[in-house]
Structure 1
Amino acid sequence: MKILAVIGSPRNNGNTYEAVKLIEDELNIKNPGIEFEYVQLGSANLKPCKGCFTCIERGEEKCPLKDGRETLEFKMQQADGVIFASPVYTYNVSWIMKNFLDRFAYRCHRPDFHGKKAMVVVSTGAVGLGFVAALLSLSLGTMGFITCAKLGVTFPPAHERNDTRLKKEMNKLVRKTEMFYERLLDTKPEKPSFIKLLQFVKQKRAYSKAPKDLADFKFWRDKGWLAETTDYYYEVRAGKMIKLLVYIISKLTRCAG
């Protein structure tokens, strides 16, 4: 089993990294054979996104920035699970994690990580854990990642630290790691929610009408997702009533737009 940890802190080996190291320790207790690899974005070769939209329209291979993006994507594809970790900076992910998300924005249009399990880790000195963890999880979900566990870890100032608080944080970390590991072992395809089914139908309709030379159209066509009988990114069992409801709401929201 391979686990990749993407650390979105400009400060290498800081609190966020230390939290993920504790997760690695817990996973190794459960399975000493786990291969763990770290990518610290603070020292990774990932240039700032230029916002040129080339990756969206023409394909990621046409991106004018020649750096480590392709290698990083390959690492994510090869991993059985990916841990995405970021500190809280002004009620958001760090700028370096935001740049990471921006550089892979094309995967929101062309999701290629379906079935890939993820864990979201957020660290803070005081506040913002729940909001930022939800924000990061939402962004990853548009790329196809399944967030199996969200962990928020508080590293308070030295004068506020005590054994009781430390024990509480550690118990939370152990519990969330256990949740992540159990989901990694479960190889059954995830049953998508109604919202995810609806999202697929709306994207399918949009990209089926896109210009034939657009990267999104080519990707969805080659995946077979534009076929009339395709209900989701992978084969799922959805009842006739659910399918009908998804169809009706997708029609209504299109008219309303």
Structure 2
Amino acid sequence: MDLCKNESNHGVEDSYQTLGLEDLPVWSLVFLRDIQLVTVLISRGAALDGREPGTKNTLLHLAVLENASDLKGSQLRFDILRQLLKTGKIDPDLKDKYGHTPLHIAALEGSVEATEILLEHKAKLEELDRFGRTPLMIASKFGNSDVALALINAGAKINEFKVDIDKLLLAAVADRNIKAMEQLLLGRADRLVQDDYGRTTDLIARQVGGEGLLKILQGARSFVYKGSKVKTSVEVTEVEVAEDIAPMQTTIIPFRSPALDREER
């Protein structure tokens, strides 16, 4: 139901004027989860570019953030988020004082629903905050695997040095998320990784009843990575193996016994 067309909003508008709420900034009503008053303001064509003064959070940041009001019904924040995005008047990639977009905040909060809503409205996956982190990096850092997998499914780039790809592979297998599994394996995730209980990805795949998952994992066992191409060990020639190993070779200094040095003196 479109709340902007709800007849009961006439009474809300009267209360809005009676209580003198017209002077309240829109961002405060968003943070308080007052969806009816927010809807009234949207229907009146109110400016939606206001920010919370301290953090420079936009209305979208505040809609995504959890607060005490969410204890009564966290769904309200998602309803408000949808309402705001539906207007098309707010850029979903605006940043707060820390360089976080609303998608960064969703990753930090671990909110899959907010993440999916923002992605539906074309939020950018690769925006960097002031610390050089993408939403995927933040989701991985704070252990929000569900959000991380949603971002990977949407096409987020996997940086093996800044994302815990092995832990995410375990989560993807447990979630039967084939697309994320394939991307993580291509990103050099260790398919022999074990979780905190000593379970391998193979064992988890068997426990969740995924024969297809097991085939993907077993097929990845002999992957050899060369540049951006992926080949199985059967397809790799001896020359290519030598080329791959060569950069890792170092000069070996033979061990010399201190006793031998003394004898020579």
Higher helix share: 2
Task: Give the alignment's TM-score, normalised by structure 1.
Answer: 0.31
Task: Give the alignment's TM-score, normalised by structure 2.
Answer: 0.30
Higher relative contact order, chain-length normalized (CA < 8 Å, sep 6+): 1
Rg bigger for which structure? Answer: 2
